[in-house]
Structure 1
């Protein structure tokens, strides 16, 4: 089993074990965007590259009302912003304490030792790209994280992340596996 796969499994086990919730079927993010085809014989628009097939080309910073994409530092100004910050702390800063600082006080994702163990199980050259899509609930986001290690195929993790806003600052509350 590759080091990347071990890291993914380790990180998912930590998150799922700490936030085990109801099994709710969520359509994968890639399937939630319908492909547009113009009428009247116009040339079809080429869809954006999939993060799973071309992470470098697809990981440009984008922001719209329904979709945020990127690998940047994020912020605490919105649900997608805190999710980007949380993933940046995991993949780039590799710091569980910074991840915990981005969670709410009542979050079950506050085990620094387990988080750091998940981080340390990944190769240091692991890159990531995050796509955060809105759902019907303003605090819940469908998130695709595509991670790529040097000389390895990209791997995508799909999660449902619940956030909360308190006093103008957003925090991560819960992370669940989405299928």
Structure 2
């Protein structure tokens, strides 16, 4: 998997949008049409919209991420002008669920970029692909 380029700082920030069979990168709004699209959507809701309600649209109803205040606490801990870039590669996929290797690069103002490596599980529910689990890799 190719990690996002962390040499750039928020000033002049650019996150290249790519969509290939082996890697998807970007920071766009996403949707629920695929695993990578749901992962992009969740991160966009987290970093750009800063909205728990918006982020939950990308989560299954039984996801542990939807319970409690952890999600809001995480959003509140990130400065509002933080930029992000996500890189997603398939680990394994099936008709109903898939696991993805995800790298999220955070570009906070006045600090060095921070990288989070995650394994994200998505599942298709009633025609929508949603995130059921996020674990640190």
TM-score (norm 1): 0.68
> Which contiguous aligned blocks of 4+ residues in structure 1 show a shift greater than 3 angstroms?
54-57
Q: Computing the radius of gyration over CA atoms, which structure comes out larger, 1 or 2?
A: 1
* Structure 1: stretches of 5+ with no match in the other structure: 1-28, 32-49
Quote the Cα distance in structure 1 between the aligned partners of 2:105 and 2:22: 19
| Match of residue 74 from structure 2 | 118
Structure with the bigger percentage of helix:
1
RMSD: 1.7
Residue 137 of structure 1 deviates from its aligned partner by 3.3
Q: Deviations over 1:35-89 (max 9, x none)?
A: xxxxxxxxxxxxxxx52333735x2110011111000000100000000000001
* Structure 2: stretches of 5+ with no match in the other structure: none
Q: Does 1:158 align with 2:117?
A: yes
Q: How many residues align?
A: 131
Task: For 1:56-135, list aligned pairs within 5 A.
Answer: 56-57=13-14, 59-111=15-67, 113-135=69-91
TM-score (norm 2): 0.87
